[in-house]
Structure 1
Amino acid sequence: MPVLRVALDVPLYRLFDYWSESASTVDIGRRVRVPFIRGEKIGVIVAVLAESEWPREQLKDALEILGDLPPLPPDFLDLCAFAATYYQAPPGEALLQALPAGLKKLNPPKRQAGRKAKAAKPLPSPPLTDEQIAAVAAVEPGGGFAVTLLHGVTGSGKTEVYLQLIAKALAQGRQVLLLVPEINLTPQLEERVRGRFAEVEVVALHSELADAARERHWRAAFSGSAGIVLGTRLAVFAPLPRLGLIIVDEEHDPSFKQQDGMRYSARDLAVVRARQHDVPILLGSATPSLESWANAGHGRYRLQTLAKRANPAAVLPQVRLYDTRRMPLREGVSDGLLSAIRERLERGEQSLVFLNRRGYAPVLACPACGWVSRCKRCAANLVLHLADRRLRCHHCGFEHRVPPACPTCGNQDIHPYGRGTQRLEAWLAETFPGARVLRVDRDSVKSRKQWEAVLERIHGGEADILVGTQMLAKGHDFPKLTLVGVLGADSALFAADWRAPERLFAQLMQVAGRAGRAELKGEVIVQTQYPDHPLFAALVAHDYPGFAAGQLREREQAGFPPYSFQAVLRAEAPEMADAIAFLKAASGLPPVAEFPDVLVYDPVPMRMARLASLERGQLLVESHSRPLLQAFLPRWREAIEQLRAPGKLRWHLEVDPFDF
């Protein structure tokens, strides 16, 4: 069997054949060094064949089969192959992106032993509520495949349910995969997990790890020495020989969807992986995705509910709506919210003012001629960051110094309009001169160390007023935080994206859940011009089931997911006309006529029509049947590959799109 079939990380939808005299089937799953074009690449052997469809003289010789690692297991190869097929990605890209960077380098740096993780403080197991006991009993590691949706209100003790289930799996000698949506959620959770399971090796897998550390952790998972793997979306591919349980925390979170390369959903692949291994999977959230909620309603998922907070002294916060049409605002803040903050300061409690817009102001403009600080590369405005006197685009990263005068008319009296977290922080510091105001956003917290330092300050009582974005909205427990004020929520109510209400409700429920999680009672104040909107009525009542039922009715009437299945073909080019022409040509290809039950819409510009100097268009494809859509997409993609397109045009297919 002299022919190796190799997956390479190249943007081609094919595998490559190489000649090797010494190879055998035991090498399937090993990495291999091969010549490619005028250089060399590291690939993975996915098959060993007796012969190739290509003649021997056209096959290049493989240079070296690497033996520094056992072969990648068949289940890992199968999961990557499934992902490539379902998400219409090149097979090599799907497989190689799942490996640490060091395993893909031709000359990897010398591996060094990592520092031993600092011993965590042992944490006892608290008594469980009746609801928690029922939730733990409903999931049995080793009991076969089943999907359980854990709907628990904020503060209901979902994490404790996770820890109890992890203990059950470890007792059976199994490994556990625990997925979280964002890196900033891992420090607290990792500390709790290490504290509870001090005798078990726990490794983290996320993008902020250095390459060497990520490879060490990956190897620990692969070898089976790590009992618990805690990670973000890419960790769904971590090979685990003794996998017994998968847990997905905040399963609704958009961060589980990869937005470049192979655009996969880690949550959905986690379900596929659980079925593949015949193990249970738990999806946890205070605001489940509507797809998961519909699956529970139809009996495909089991539903477990935690309706009360785990701390018997803690109750859900009272939510108040302030009608801003009838009250004056100062820097976007009502007098009522200011009074509530003042009361907390007098009582020594903490307040959080939530504004999901970082920077000082969303735009800088000239009142004389109408000049606006627009990004030259995107269809967006440059955001004013006054602290370092820069104008920045939050979409493409372009930045420019703040001009001393209007670039158009020379007027020196240019003004910031609107407000972001920096402006709000400065104004609150002036309004409450004795208070310690702490801003938490992507500008002030850029690394894990900074995040850990911020958390330490908050827990240590070194901040009285927090000003934050969605970084503070989920997964955090601040015992002294009793007030949450929400600014600027209305903008998402009437967005063009039909998922916007679901995202807004989840965001508001999550940020509201930060208040009153201990013995101190919590209060949430939402400033809005639409207090009669059904979304706010459900928020006041803490009624996720009612909100979800209304949204699902609307989606069923409109034929939106989960009542249909979608894919999007996107194209970007220096000129919009080229992108639209390419999409128009794709919409007329033969496979479209061969699948009459697959609806192909007309091409349109994307909502962010220009990004990083490229014009962007998209074409939506929809079907009532997932298998039918999956049968159509590869045929269509192959036809698209044959289209002649301008040299600078780029395109990609996204299955189950999350943004439009």
Structure 2
Amino acid sequence: MQTPAHAGLGDLLSYAHTADLPAGTLVRVPLGRREVLGVVWGSRAAEGGQALLDGSLADADGVLLRPVSAALDALPPLDAHWRALVAFAARYYQRGLGELALAALPPQLRELDSTQLARRLKRRDRKAQLAAASEDGAARAPACEAALAPSPEQSAVLAALEAERTQGQAPRPALLFGSTGSGKTEVYLQAVARCLAADPAAQALVMVPEINLTPQLEARFRTRFAALGEGAVVALHSGMTNPQRLQSWLAALTGQARIVLGTRMAVFAPLPGLRLIVVDEEHDPSYKQQEGARYSARDLAIWRGQRQGAQVLLGSATPSLESWHHSRPAEGEAPAGRYLRLHMPSRIGAGELPRVRLVDMQQQPPKTLISAGLLEAMTQRIARGEQCMVFLNRRGYAPVLACTDCDWKSECPHCSAFRVFHKIDRTLRCHHCGFTERVPRACPTCGNPDIAPVGRGTERLEEQLAALFADIRRPDGGAVRIARIDADSTRHEGALEAQLAQVHSGEVDVLVGTQMIAKGHDFRRITLVAAVNPDSALFSSDFRAPERLFGLLMQSAGRAGRDSAWLAAQGSRAEMWIQSFHPQHPLFEALRGHDYPRFAAQQLKEREAAAMPPFAFQALVRADARTQEAAQAFLNAAGDAAEGLPGADEVMRYPAVPLAVQRVANVERAQMLLESGSRAALQRLLAAWQPVLQELRRGPAGQGLIRWLVDVDPQSI
């Protein structure tokens, strides 16, 4: 059943059935007054059991067993590999088995009874037969005729993957370290084609970090593998409707789908013929689920590949430091990592990586938005018909609205955060709890009408750029066209695709946006990228902040100059401009040379000295309560109760502290960090701690507590 770990309900519940149901069978069972979906995890004969007068069954101990309402036997059972993946994820991430198993199933499947499911499957089979009848009889083999001729670097990578796959034992996970524009996607396409050609029942899973990257990748895969037939390539992500998700899931389970493309949730797709897993942009923190069961889809993909004998290919221009460390070559007496590292340093078509230019904002006049040099460079490119991209990872018009007379600020009444000013609809909006109000006409505290925005978001940047370029003209004499892509401008269905199409067609001269535009997109005419305010992450308390910033800036730079032939015809060279108050920071020095290995070496040296991941292992225990005192009291009591538990002597437990944003939606939040040099010791403690935490929740220490959770391998602290 779908029961969270903190509910205290056991992982497995027992039911009776007249027949022996195979493990993995989906069933409908009564739970309280409801009928819910369940998964058979195992079965045993009811030896010594007895039938009661009302027709129900009791086991040998006399415990009443309620009968299974119906078995959804029209579907094949979920195989042992899938059940092992779910069981491992539940155990490692300290969640309920049923919570993970049922969350991995399509929402609509949970509502269907056996009759409704049979009707849906019959309708689906009829559509498949009609689609097959309409085909011209072409062979259903992977179509590689449209594949591009691989570059020497791509050929070397594909040969290494083939050698690893055919060596006679489970292939090692491979890290493809390829610069932006080096053709990693083409490697994915050809690796999938070779995998499917080698086995007529093989399936491949291709994962991307964000939903907005799925449509363009899906279009490329559908075009390349059109000969496989209708339904052979499916998508699986939370942006789909419930019927669409169910259709894709069924296609994966039955083997009709040869290729599944999806976000982190796709790691749980039932793929009985899985032979290849591709994790694109493997460094991206979006692969870590941040609500409910906080699993890492990238790490689960590696575990699943090793257990199911599937090859795992991780790709990135800026790999996570964990993957970089695990793929290290042998040096002296130090052994090599357990991953295979593959390298593609060159761009396709002999294109050059963008030249990085740093602007010291301390040398600029106060309140300068765009330095004179950057403004001139953008003006020249717009006049030649080229496109520019300006990156600012903060949406809205301004992060805060303030009164200069009484120091009032637009604080959220429900969160310990400021509400963001959105000028388009004249609202103050909290990006944590969603609380929204109209902008007041005057200061609510002193009545001063001169309340002003402080700071800058993408809305304000778009407005100010429009003013700066008001007198500039395009080659056709028209006004400069500026577009903004962020979570606000793409809220409506189809908005993102429409805006991207405008960029690709050349209708946009300057693209302004957040990290949504910084990765994965193949903009052919963008030749200049600018980051206007990247300094905030340089001195963050989160030790992962520099890694994320370096990756984001490298990915942003990679959007420029991707079409080398067009760039040469323009007589231009791609550039990345970074405006910073700390241009001498080592991070920018490494970025200037596109030198990720240098940056990674420096970061790993610091982390090893501080005993931080990947040289140590962490977990967070978080508590949400009505008051901060109650949250911290629960965590501190839990820390005291951990004494003497298995593994406790090898795990460092830090005192409870508030989160950076300690109140959200009137709920106070606190956390306790656990750290150990032994993953096994940390897991032993967490497993033994679960019943202790549940008991504390019911006792005096749990007064005022709303919930608690465990976050293993946290991505932000």
| TM above 0.5 | yes
Shift of 1:613: 1.1
Structure 1 SS opposite 2:594 = coil
CA apart distance, 1:9: 6.8
SS at match of 1:622: strand
> Are residues 1:34 and 2:29 paired?
yes
**Alignment check: 8 A CA contact 2:4 2:95 kept:** no
- In structure 2, distance between residues paired with 1:590 and 1:318: 53
In the alignment, which residue of structure 2 is the partner of 1:103? 109
**How far off is 1:649 after superposition?**
2.1
Instruction: Give 1:341 deviation, angstroms.
Output: 1.1
Give the 3-state SS of the residue equivalent to 1:185 in structure 2: helix
- 3-state DSSP class of the match of 1:145? coil
CA contact (8 A) 2:171 2:310 kept: yes
Q: Greater Rg, structure 1 or structure 2?
A: 2
1:412-471 Cα offsets, whole Å, 9 max, x none, are 111011111111111111221310000010000125521111111011111000011100
Q: Which moves more between the two structures, 60-69 or 410-419?
A: 60-69
Alignment partner, residue 565 of structure 1: 617
Picking from 622, 625, 628, the partner of 1:576 is 628
Counterpart code for 1:653: V
- SS where residue 89 of structure 1 aligns? coil
How far is 1:124 from its partner? 2.5
Residue 606 of structure 1 aligns with which residue? Answer: 659
Any idea what the Cα deviations from partners look like across 1:121-167, whole Å, max 9, x if unmatched? 99822222211111111113565331110000100000111111011
Aligned amino acid, residue 158 of structure 2: V
**Paired position in structure 2 for 1:399:** 436
Residue by residue over 1:553-594, the C-alpha shift from the partner in whole angstroms, topping out at 9 and shown as x without a partner, is 000000100010111100011100000000010001145565
User: In 2, distance between residues paired with 1:649 and 1:246?
Assistant: 39
Matches within 5 A, 1:547-558: 547-558=599-610
Write the mapping of 1:144-543 to structure 2, written as runs, cut at 5 A. Answer: 144-172=170-198, 173=200, 174-200=202-228, 201-297=232-328, 298-312=336-350, 314-328=351-365, 332-433=369-470, 434-447=479-492, 449-519=494-564, 520=567, 521-543=573-595
What does residue 3 of structure 1 align with?
none
Task: Determine whether 1:86 maps to 2:86.
Answer: no
Q: After TM superposition, give the deviation of residue 479 of structure 1 in Å.
A: 1.2
Taking the aligned partners of 2:9 and 2:602, their CA distance within structure 1 comes to 42
Q: Provide the secondary structure at the position in 2 that maps to 1:526.
A: strand
Q: SS at the partner of 2:324?
A: helix
- 1:609–1:616 Cα contact (<8 Å) kept: yes
**Please, which moves more after superposition, 42-51 or 267-276?**
42-51
SS in structure 1 of the partner of residue 649 of structure 2: coil
Give the 3 Å change call, closer, same or farther, for CA 309–21 of structure 1 in structure 2.
closer
SS at match of 2:715: coil
For 1:145 and 1:213, the matched residues in 2 are separated by 33
Please report how far the alpha carbon of residue 59 of structure 1 lies from its aligned counterpart in structure 2 after TM superposition.
2.4
Q: Does 1:76 align with 2:82?
A: yes
Aligned partners of 2:368 and 2:76: how far apart in 1? 61
**Which digits, 9 at most, give the CA deviation of each residue in 1:588-614, with x for residues without a partner?**
114556521111111111111111211
CA separation in 1, counterparts of 2:42 and 2:409? 58
- 1:591 and 1:105 mapped to 2: Cα distance? 45
Distance in 2, Cα, partners of 1:648 & 1:171: 55
Q: Percent identity?
A: 50
Aligned residues of 1:17 and 1:59 also touching (Cα < 8 A): no
Partner of 2:474: none
Cα distance in 1 between the residues matched to 2:304 and 2:195: 17
Per the alignment, residue 155 of structure 2 pairs with: 133
CA contact (8 A) 2:176 2:313 kept: yes
What amino acid sits opposite 2:233 in the alignment? Answer: V
Equivalent-residue separation in structure 1 for 2:505 and 2:658 (angstroms): 49
User: Residues 649 and 19 (structure 1 numbering): CA distance in 2 closer, same or farther, change over 3 Å?
Assistant: closer
User: Counterpart of 2:139?
Assistant: none
Structure 1 contact 7–46 (Cα < 8 Å) conserved: no
The answer to whether the 8 Å contact 2:2/2:103 transfers is no
CA distance in 2, matches of 1:444, 1:74: 44
Instruction: Give, in angstroms, the shift of residue 73 of structure 1.
Output: 1.0
Are residues 1:18 and 2:55 paired? Answer: no
* Shift in alpha-carbon separation, 1:53–1:91, aligned structure 2, 3 A: farther
Please state if 1:655 is matched with 2:712: yes
Structure 1, 332-341 or 572-581: larger mean CA deviation = 332-341
TM-score normalised to the size of structure 1? 0.95
* SS of residue in 1 equivalent to 2:675: strand
Amino acid at match of 1:371: W
Change (3 A) 1:211 1:540: same
Q: Is the 8 A contact 2:2 2:100 kept in 1?
A: no
How many residue pairs get aligned? The number is 652
Following superposition, the deviation at residue 22 of structure 1 comes to: 1.2
SS of alignment partner, residue 278 of structure 2: strand
Which structure 2 residue ranges, 5 or more long, are not aligned? Answer: 47-57, 136-142, 329-335, 471-478, 568-572
Q: Give the whole-Å Cα distance in 2 for the aligned partners of 1:131 and 1:210.
A: 40
Question: For residues 54 and 18 of structure 1, what CA distance do their matches in structure 2 show?
Answer: 13
Secondary structure, aligned partner of 2:358: strand
Q: Is the contact between residue 630 and residue 704 of structure 2 (CA under 8 Å) also seen in structure 1?
A: no
Query: What residue identity is the alignment partner of 1:351?
Result: C
Q: What TM-score results when the alignment is normalised by the length of structure 2?
A: 0.88
Conserved? CA contact 2:3–2:96, under 8 Å: no
2:318 is paired with a residue of what secondary structure?
coil
- 8 Å contact kept, 1:8–1:41: no
Of 495-504 and 101-110, deviating more is 101-110
Aligned mates of 1:151, 1:19 — CA distance in 2 = 50
Alpha-carbon offset, residue 54 of structure 1: 7.6
Unaligned 5+ segments in structure 1 are 1-5
In structure 1, give the amino acid aligned to 2:710. Answer: L
Pairing 1:544–2:592 present: no
Counterpart-to-counterpart distance in 1, 2:105 and 2:325: 34
The answer (yes or no) to whether the contact 2:144–2:190 under 8 Å persists in 1 is no
Cα distance in structure 1, aligned partners of 2:462 and 2:537: 23
Asked if the contact 1:29–1:45 (Cα under 8 Å) also holds between the matched residues in 2, the reply is yes
Give 3-state SS (helix, strand or coil) of 2:520's partner.
coil
**Cα–Cα, structure 1 residues 159 and 31, in superposed 2: closer, same or farther, change >3 Å?**
same
Distance in 2 between the 1:14 and 1:280 partners?
35
Give the Cα–Cα distance (whole angstroms) in 2 for the partners of residues 592 and 490 of structure 1. Answer: 44
Q: What RMSD in Å do the two structures reach over aligned CA positions?
A: 2.1
Q: 1:144-191: per-residue Cα shift (whole Å, max 9, x none)?
A: 331110000100000111111011011012111001000111111111
Shift of residue 33, structure 1, vs aligned partner: 1.7
User: What amino acid is the match of 1:535?
Assistant: L
Give me the whole-angstrom Cα distance separating, in 2, the residues matched to 1:524 and 1:618: 39
Are the structure 2 counterparts of residues 142 and 450 from structure 1 closer, same or farther at C-alpha, using a change threshold of 3 Å?
Answer: farther
Displacement of 1:494 after TM fit? 0.2
